[in-house]
Amino acid sequence: MTAAKVETAIRDSFERSALLDAKKIEVETSGSKVTLTGKVRNHAEREEAERVAWAAPGVYSVDNELTVEWSWFGE
């Protein structure tokens, strides 16, 4: 798979996941390496994003640079 196809597959998986806010997660691919950046609401969301990235075909490395940004009362 090309890097662009891997990126598209991951983004599509993010959109389908009820646990992820896909709009806040950036996906960059370089060959078989994926880098995740952006902000998530909690550690569970961070781990889910990494799990989804690893599940994409052709991925051999995931660099999870997502940061947890706590939000109180929907702020």
Range of the domain at 48: 3-68
In the block, which residue shows the tokens 């997502």?
A: 66
Question: Is position 73 within any domain?
Answer: no
Question: Is position 64 within any domain?
Answer: yes
Q: Which residues contact 36 (CB under 8 A, 6 or more apart)?
A: 25, 26, 27, 49, 50, 53, 62, 63, 64, 65, 66
- The predicted pLDDT at position 75 comes to 52
The total of structural domains in the chain comes to 1
* Residues 44-66 pLDDT 10s: 999 999 999 999 999 999 999 99
pTM score of the predicted model: 0.86
In the block, which residue shows the tokens 């691919």?
A: 29
pLDDT band at 72 (very low <50, low <70, confident <90, very high): low
